[in-house]
Structures are given as structure tokens and as C-alpha cells.
Structure 1
Amino acid sequence: MISTLHLLLTSTLIPAAVYGQSCSDSTTVDFSGVNGGDAASFLSQYGLSISTYGDVPSTPIQHDFVGSNVALGNGVLEMKVQAYSGSGHVKSSEIVSDDEFLHGSLRVTMKSSMTKGICEGIFFFKSDLQETDIELLTTTSLEASATVPAGFWTTNQAQVEDGDSISENLAFWFDPTQGFHEYRIDWTADATTFYVDGQQVNRLTENVPNVPALFIFNAWSSGDPYWSAGPPTVDSVSQISKIVLYKGFVPEGC
């Protein structure tokens, strides 16, 4: 989630960067063959776990990550945010890697939720001061609100308390709720580079994380009109069909 932002609003596509070749240390989680079953056991085979913790300090409403909100569907991993009851916390969902690693490439193929009021996030994360992410806000993916521009967000978070995040809002050239698209972060020592469907869309060279971090995907809401909006009035489901994770130096052509 973004705090103080250095905003560069653009939808320009950038030519792909070139990196060294090394594809050996990789994990691919393909959900195409699943149809129900124990999500926790399935994910554990690939070094992933389902988060089960609460009291996440979001405003104005806190949220909890609930294990049962992560489920295996028909060829997908389903990440649910429950309809808000009007009291208490928003029941949300998250998966996380068991191991931390320094640098890598993360690719998540997903279909965004059609339910408004959700933040869908793809992260390399160690702490609030060591984080890079792609975030989709389902209320403003295609149409701006009074407080949030349309599009998705690529961000390197601030690395000092009260510092500025480096963030860019990018326009979609498709409807993210109508099909599966690959969202990718390449993280090297000098930059974080962002791709959608293999096309480079942004590269950030400030606030690049410099310590080992976890992979995280989550879906949540806090009712914040300046970010997630919501909370949702009906159940939301974000669908993931594949996760590919390369650990270490980012490869070209992998």
C-alpha cells in the first residue's frame, strides 16, 4: 500500500530490458490441473503458505487474513475477500513464500476480481521499508474515482521512516477482469522492472529493496476512499492460474 507518493502518471510502454541468463533456480505453480482439494497442502509442495493472521493496521477498517479464503477452484487458485458485514474487520486472503531470497523474477498470471473495493497486490516484501509491488485496485482499474486515478500501480516503497515512495500509475489497455494476464516484477540490485503480458511497462531505480525478501500475493479491503475503496458488499474472488518464481539474478528469456 502506498503512503507519500512521488507520482509519475503515464501509460507509455517501455522496450524490454536485457539481463543475464540463468534459469536454474525456479519454481512454477500451475493450477490448470486442479479442481478442489486442500489448498494448503497443494501450495506447500512449492514452498508457499497461506497466511492466517489478523489486526492488519489498515484504515479506516482493519483486515484479517483468513485461511479458508484461499481455495483451489477449477484450474485456478481462488483468493477471496468476504462481503463486509458492517462491523469488525474485512476477511481477506494472502499467500506467502516460505523462504526469503535476494533478487529474482516474480510472475503471477491472474484474472482480477469484478467486485469493487478490493486491492490485489503482488510483492517482494521484507518490511514496510523494503518492498516493491504491483497493485490493482478493482474500483479504479478502468475508471478514476474522485480521489484515485484509473489504472494499476508499480511501486518501490520508501526506505526511511516518513520518506517518499516511488510510484507510477499506469493505464490498462485491456479489462483485467475479462481474462488472465501475467503481471511480473524483475528485481535486481539496481532496479525493479515491471511487465504485463511480457511487455515492459516501467522501471524504477530509486528505493530498490536491498535485503532478502518474501514473495506475497494478497487480496484485501479497508474501505479507504484514497486507496482500496469498498469495503465490498458481496464476496470477491481473484483467480490465479499460474505463479512462476525465479530466485537470484533475473534471467532473460526465462
Structure 2
Amino acid sequence: MDYTVPAKYDNTINRIFDPTNVQVIEDGGVHLTVKKMDNGSYTSASFGTKRQDILYGTFRANMKTTPEPGTVAAFFFFRNNTCEIDMESLSRIQNPWKTYFSVQPQIYNEDGSASTLTNDKHTLNFDPTSAFHEYRFDWTPEDITYYLDGEEANRFSQNIPSEPGRIIINHWTDGNPNFSGLPSVQDATLSIANLTVFFNSSEATGPPPCQRSTKPCSIAGILKIILFLCTVFQSLFNNIF
């Protein structure tokens, strides 16, 4: 990604995505780094799939988050701001560590707080900065199920997205004291060991038949999808920009 999200409030900063902050590691994986620049600004890092026809599936990333406070590590499906599935880890929240699960649009309570129907500030039972852990969400027309290291963590059945989009991983800061927090002067790195996706396509015209359906493929059909779409993710970095 190579663009800037302007600051929303007086106490926040521009979210500047710099493609040079995305680095492929020689022994495998990717580093996404948030950096403080000489002029005092901060740059962030992001990549996403070129394909934007992803509609339902299972999505898994093995990641190790930064111990430096003030950043957000996000693994998510995105079409637009009202059609989104998120797993976000805020590095300022430590001991206990948390990962936020949410769908957009969110449901809000009468007091303005986010409803547990579409939002979960989930407490982790591990330190996400000390080792790689698998973050996963399964998306069907009926619900979204979140997993941590293969164990179900939560499930939402309200406001489930029903339109196609793309998968994105990013690591960013905007200085918002109520969310990302004030960033560290030290470089902060999100490490990604791998990204695995199995998905239906909203634009498929050939086999397998389930790929033309608005319903999720059966597990038995996944091998056919892999063979048919082997070029989609045979190299992660052929699908990044």
C-alpha cells in the first residue's frame, strides 16, 4: 500500500502507508514496520490481495505482534467501511493482551458503546509478542467464527457481510490515545510467517461448481478449489502490491 489516510481529529496524526516498510525476509515471511521519520511523522505498512472477488471462506495468518506500544496489527476482510471483518491487536494493551474481533457495520448500545453482538475485546491467554500464533476467521453467509491457535474464540451472527472484497494485513499508528495510542520512537515490527486462505469467488466462471455459488464450498470441495485456483496464492508476493 502506498497512500495516506488523513488525521481524523486534532489529537491524531496522518496514517502514512509506505511500501518500503513491507519487507520480505530471506528465511521466509514478511515484516510490517511502523517507523518514526526524521521529520517527526510516522509511516506504517500494509499489503493486500489483488483479488477483490473474495466471498466467504476461511482465512488464517500466523503472526507475532510488536511489544512496542502505540500500533495496531490488523488482519481483515475489507470491501468498504460498512462491509468489513476485523481481527485487530493493539500493542498499548498489555498484561493482559487483547485482540479485538468486530464486523462492520457495528451495533451500538444505548450508551454508545459497541455491542457484544458485533464486537469483542478478547483477552488472550498468551503473549502474542513472544511467538507466532494463528489468527483465523471463518466467514459464511450465516456467521463469522473467530479462532486463536485453532480454538474457537467467538462467533457473530449479526451484520454478516454478503458482498465480495479483499484480504488485507496492515500495521499502523495514528496516535489516537483512545485506540492505537501514542507510538514509540523505536521501530515496531509485526512479523508474519504465512497467510493461508480458502475462499469462494463472486466472479468465477469455470469449475468447480461450488465456486459459482453464493454458499460456502463443502470441505470436500476445497481440494478442487486449490487445484483450480492454485495460481491465486502459489506465491503470496505475486498477489501483493
Both proteins in one fold, TM over 0.5 = yes
Equivalents in 2 of 1:251, 1:216: separation in Å?
25
Paired residue for 2:104?
157
Contact kept? 2:6, 2:13, Cα under 8 Å: no
**Contact preservation (8 Å) 1:70, 1:93:** yes
Could you list the per-position Cα deviations for residues 191-238 of structure 1 after superposition, in whole angstroms to 9, with x for gaps in the alignment?
111001100100011111110011000000111111111222111111
Counterpart for residue 118 of structure 1 = 71
Counterpart for residue 22 of structure 1: none
Of residues 86, 101, 109, the one that matches 2:62 is 109
Q: Do the aligned partners of 1:98 and 1:214 also contact (CA within 8 Å) in 2?
A: yes
In structure 2, C-alpha distance between the alignment counterparts of 1:198 and 1:106, rounded to whole Å: 12
Q: Percent identity?
A: 28
Q: C-alpha distance in 2, partners of 1:86/1:64?
A: 13
Q: For 1:135-179, what per-residue CA distance to the aligned partner results, in whole angstroms no more than 9, with x for missing partners?
A: 000110434xxxxxx51100012179x996721011110100000
Residue 20 of structure 2 aligns to a residue whose secondary structure is helix
Structure 2 residue aligned with 1:133, among 86, 90, 97?
86
DSSP-derived class of the 1:82 partner: strand
CA contact (8 A) 2:106 2:119 kept: no
SS at match of 1:208: coil
Count of aligned pairs between the two proteins: 196
Q: How many angstroms apart in 2 are the aligned matches of 1:252 and 1:234?
A: 44
Paired with 1:178 and 1:225, the residues of 2 have a C-alpha distance of 25
The amino acid of 2:102's aligned partner reads T
In structure 2, the gaps of 5 or more residues are 201-215, 223-241
Q: Aligned AA for 2:138?
A: D
2:2 aligned residue (35, 48, 52): 52
Asked if the contact 1:158/1:164 (under 8 Å) is kept, the reply is no
Look up the SS of the partner of 2:119 in the other structure.
strand
2: distance between equivalents of 1:159 and 1:111?
Answer: 27
Preserved contact between residue 141 and residue 172 of structure 1 (Cα < 8 Å):
no
TM-aligned CA deviation for residue 130 of structure 1: 0.3
Residue range with higher mean Cα deviation, 244-253 or 125-134: 244-253
Which TM-score applies when normalising by structure 1? 0.71
* 1:205 is the counterpart of 2:152: no
Please tell me the root mean square deviation across aligned C-alpha atoms, in Å. Answer: 2.3
Report if the CA contact (8 A) 2:66-2:190 is conserved: yes
Q: How does 1:149-228 map to 2 (within 5 A)?
A: 150-158=97-105, 166-228=118-180
Deviation at residue 83 of structure 1 after TM alignment? 2.4
Question: Where do 5+ consecutive residues of structure 1 fail to align?
Answer: 1-50, 144-149
Supply the AA of the counterpart residue of 2:36.
Answer: A
Larger relative contact order (Cα-Cα within 8 Å, sequence gap ≥ 6): 1
Higher helix content, 1 or 2: 2
Q: TM-score, normalised by structure 2?
A: 0.75
Number of the residue aligned with 1:92: 44
8 Å Cα contact 2:145/2:154 also seen in 1 = yes
Query: Partner letter of residue 152 of structure 1?
Result: T
CA 1:252–1:174 in 2, change beyond 3 Å: closer, same or farther?
Answer: farther
